[in-house]
Amino acid sequence: MKESARLIIPVWGERYADKVISMTLPAVLAPGNLPELCRTFAVELVIVTESRLFDLFRRAPSFAAVERICAARLVPLDDVLTDFASDYGVTLTHALFRGFADLGARMTESYLLFLNADFIVCDGALGHLGKLMREGNRVIHAPSFRVVAEDVWPQLQALIDTASCTLRLEPRRMVKLALANKHPTVKARTVNQRLSHQSWMDQFYWYVDEDTLIGYQAPVALVAIKPERVVPNPVVVWDFGFIPEAAPAAPRHFIGDSDQFFMIEPQSRDTGREMIRIGWTSYAKIARDLSVWLTKEQRESGKQLLKFHAADLPADINEVSEQARAYLAEVDRRLSPTPASHVDHPLLGRWFRETTARQRDGVAAGSRRQAAAKPLLDALQTIYRRTFGSPPRVGRFHPLWADMSPIARAVTAWGAAGKPNILWISSSVSLLQRRLGGAHVDLAKALGADFGEAIERKAPFDACICELTLLDLLKIDRLYTNLRPLVKNGGHILVYVAKRGKVFEGAHLVLQEVAFPSVDVSQIHFWGDAVTWFLAMAYLRASRQFQSTPVVRALIIGMTLLLLAPVVRLANARAARRDSTIFRSTWTSLTMEFTVRRTQSLVRNNRSELSATTL
C-alpha cells in the first residue's frame, strides 16, 4: 500500500491565483514532479484559498490536469485573512496549517509537502523529494531563488505546453535562466560583488563564474516533513516555529545541489528596493541583526552550503567555498551566544499572538457583516459605475481616464465601424484585455511568430492591440513584422505602453534606442502628465486597502473618488487640451497607432494564402 503524501499550496487574491493556475501548477505537472511522485506515494493536492476563488480554480485546465493524476481539494481560508498587508506572514502560517490540520492523529502518518504560490519548481524536483522520503528522511529543506518576474515570466510562459498544461524545465536550464535574471535583492547579498548590500542580510551568495553561484540562506525553505507528533496550531510564524514543534528529534536533510532540486521565486523588480543600500556593510551590523532574529534551527540552516549551477561545477569552486566559510565564520563569532527562542520570539511573538486573536475574534462578526453588507456593496458599486465608469471605460472625473481612455476609445471606434475582430498581444492576461475582449497571444510567442492554429483561423484581424512594457518596445520592429500579415489591409495595430514608476525618470533614453517600424501610416501619442500620475497613484493606493473587507474598501474608494473629482476633472481637461503628439518627459502612457497599407498585389497574395490555409 502506498504511503500518503499531501502537497499544500496556500494562495489568496486573484493575482496570485492566476500565478498558481498559469505557472505553479504547470511546473508541478512536469513529468518528473507530480506524475513521478504519484508512482510511489498516494498524493493529494490541497489548495488553501478564498472560497470566492473556488470556481476560478475549478475552471482552470491546469487544475483539471492535476485531478486526472491525483486527488485534489480546495480548502477555504477566508477566516484567516486580515485587512493588513503586514499580516502576510501570519496569514500564510495559518493557511499552511489549514492544509493539514484536518488529518488529526493521521498527521504523523503522512508526508506534508509545501509550495508557496509563486514557487516554480524544475522538472524532477518533486521526484527527488519522493526518493528522499522513501529513504526515510522526515524533514527536508530546499532553497528558493529570487528572480526578476518581469523578465522571467514571459520566458516561462513561452515554454508551457498548453495541450498538457505542463512547464518542463530541467534543473540546469532553470538555473541558467535564474542566474541571467537575478533579483536585485540577490545581487545585494552577493558578498564578492560589493557594489550594494541589503539592510537585512539573511542570505549570502558568492559569484563563482557565469554558470555557478554558491550561497547560504537562513532559513532554507521547508519543502517536506513527516511530523513526529500532532501539532494542530502554530506558535509563531511558519519559518520560525514548525520544525521544533512537529519534529523535534528528527534530523534535517538539506538539499544543497541544484541538480537535485531547484525552484525559483519570481518577484517584481521593485520588491525589496527600499532595503538596498549602496556600498557594503560590516560584520558587526550583520551579526547584530541576526542575533535578535535567528532561532536555533535557522542558525543551523544558515550553515548549509548551497550550490546553484547551470553546468558542471568548476575546478576552483573549493577556493570560493573557503572564502565563503571564512566570511561566515567572522559573522558567526560575533553572534550572541544564545539563539532567539521560537516560542514567544522576541520580535515576532507578540505580533503573532495579537494578529491570531484579531483573526479569531473577527470570524463570527465578519460572516454576519458580509451578509448584511452585500446590498450596500452592490449599491455602492452601481453608483460608482454610473458616476465614474468602470476601468477601462471611465469618465473624465476618474483618475485613470488619461491613461485608459485612448484604448477604450479606439476599441469603441473600431466596433462602431464594423471592425470587431481584435487580436491582443501582452506578456500576461491584463485587465484591459479582459474587459475589452479579443483573442489573446502571449508576447513571447508573438515574437517567435508562434500564433497557433486557432489564431490563424481567425485572421485576418480588423485590429491588433499590443500592451507592452517600456523595455518591450526595443523589440517592436520584430514584433510588428510578425503581426502585420495577420491584420487586414486598412486595419489597425495599436501599441500601448504604461510607464511604471515615477513619471520623471529618463524613459526618453529607452525611446531613443527603439527601432520603429518603417512601413504603414503611423503616429505616436503621449498621454497624461505629472498631475494625472499623482492623482492616479492616490486612487490606486486607496483601491488596495482593506481588500478582505469589500464594503470598507468600496467606501474608501468612493470617498477618494469624490474628494479627488474636482481636481481630476481639471487635470484631465488640461491634459486633453495638450497636443498629445508632442513629447513631454512627464508622460504616463503612450500609444503608437499604425494603419496597415499594402500594395494591391500584396493584398491579393495575402488573401490567397489565407484562403489556402483555411482550405
pLDDT (0 to 100) of residue 35: 97
pLDDT tens for 190-214 read 999 999 999 889 999 999 999 999 9
Q: Residue 206: its pLDDT value, please?
A: 97
CA distance linking residue 166 with residue 152, whole number of Å? 17
More confident site: 273 or 123: 123
SS3 75: strand
Report the C-alpha gap between 19 and 117 in whole angstroms. 7
- pLDDT band at 367, cuts 50/70/90? very low
User: Is the bond preceding 219 in cis, omega lying within 30 degrees of 0?
Assistant: yes
Coil/strand/helix, residue 423: strand
376-614: which CATH topology? Rossmann fold (3.40.50)
Separation in Å, CA 6 to CA 68, 109, 115, 395: 16, 11, 11, 49
The rounded distance, in Å, linking the Cα atoms of 81 and 90 is 9
Between 256 and 155, name the one with better pLDDT. 256
* Rounded Cα distance, 609 and 451, in Å: 16
| pLDDT tens-digit map of 20-39 | 999 999 999 999 999 999 99
- Report the pLDDT value the prediction gives residue 613, as an integer from 0 to 100: 42
Q: How far apart are CA 357 and CA 210, in angstroms?
A: 49
Region for residue 173 given its phi and psi (left: phi exceeds 0; alpha: psi -120 to 50; beta: otherwise): alpha
What band does 612 get if pLDDT is binned at 50, 70 and 90?
very low
pLDDT category, 358, cuts 50, 70, 90? low
For residue 444, how far is the Cα from the chain centroid? 17
Pick the range with the lowest mean pLDDT from 368-382, 389-403, 516-530: 368-382
d(CA 463, CA 473) in angstroms, rounded, equals: 19
**Which residue ranges does the chain devote to CATH 3.40.50?**
376-614
Question: Which single residue is written with the C-alpha cell 493536492?
Answer: 45
Tell me what percent of the residues of the chain surpass a pLDDT of 70: 90
Residue 348: the pLDDT is: 80
Q: Which residue has the higher pLDDT, 67 or 150?
A: 67
Secondary structure (3-state) at 272 = coil
Q: What is the pLDDT of residue 286?
A: 94
- The three-state secondary structure class of 72 is strand
Residue matched to cell numbers 500565478 = 19
Of 3, 5, 212, nearest in space to 113 by CA? 5
- Is residue 84 pLDDT above 70, yes or no? no
Mean pLDDT of 341-349: 83
Per-residue pLDDT band at 601 (split at 50, 70, 90): low
Q: Do the beta carbons of residue 388 and residue 561 sit within 8 Å? A: yes
Q: Which of 253, 6, 36, 32 is nearest to 111 (CA)?
A: 6
If one compares 269 and 379, the residue with the highest pLDDT of the two is: 269
Q: CA 169 → CA 93, 122, 161, distances in Å?
A: 29, 5, 11
- Mean pLDDT (whole number) for 130-144: 97
- 439 vs 180, more confident: 180
Question: Tens digits of per-residue pLDDT, 302-342?
Answer: 999 999 999 999 999 999 999 999 999 999 999 999 999 88
User: What kind and span of H or E run contains 429?
Assistant: none
Q: Residue 171 to residues 124, 129, 216, 263, 451: CA-CA distances in angstroms?
A: 8, 14, 19, 9, 28
Q: What average pLDDT does the chain have?
A: 87
Please say if the pLDDT value at position 421 is more than 50: yes
**Structural element, H or E, at residue 140:** strand 139-141
Q: What is the pTM of this model?
A: 0.67
Residue 606: how many other CB atoms lie within 10 Å: 19
DSSP 340: B
Measured CA to CA in angstroms, residue 133 lies from 25, 204, 243 at distances of: 21, 28, 16
Cβ contact 39:68 at 8 Å: no
Q: How far is CA 204 from the centre of its chain?
A: 23
User: Contact at 8 Å (CB) between 306 and 255?
Assistant: no
**CA terminus-to-terminus distance, the chain:** 54
Nearest CA among 267, 263, 86, 285 for reference residue 199: 285
Residue 468 pLDDT greater than 50, yes or no? yes
The runs of H, that is alpha helices, within 181-279 are 184-187, 238-246
Residue pair 422/464 in contact (Cβ under 8 Å)? The answer is yes
Q: d(Cα 157, Cα 22) in Å, to the nearest integer?
A: 8
What is the model's pLDDT at position 11?
95
- Picking from 95-99, 186-190, 303-307, 454-458, which range would have the lowest pLDDT averaged per residue? 454-458
Pairing of strands 263-267, 144-148: parallel
Contacts of 553 (CB under 8 A, 6+ apart): 543, 545, 546, 547
SS3 content of the chain, % helix, strand, coil (to 5): 50, 20, 30
Structure confidence at residue 541 (pLDDT):
84
Spatial neighbors of 603 by CB under 8 A, at least 6 apart, are 489
Which one has a higher pLDDT value, 147 or 584? 147
pLDDT tens-digit readout, 257-292? 999 999 999 998 888 888 899 999 999 999 999 998
Is 431 exposed, middle or buried (CB count within 10 Å of its CB: 0-12, 13-18, 19+)?
exposed
Write the pLDDT tens digit of every residue in 558-592.
888 889 989 999 999 998 899 999 988 888 899 99
Looking at residue 556, its pLDDT comes to 85
Has residue 162 got a pLDDT over 50? yes
Angle between the N-to-C axes of helices 349-388 and 88-98, in degrees from 0 to 180, rounded to the nearest 10: 100
Name the pLDDT band for 184 (thresholds 50, 70, 90). very high
* pLDDT at residue 347, rounded to an integer: 79
Contact between 14 and 53 under an 8 Å Cβ cutoff? The reply is yes
What CA–CA distance (Å, rounded) separates 116 from 255? 18
Overall size of the chain counted in residues = 615
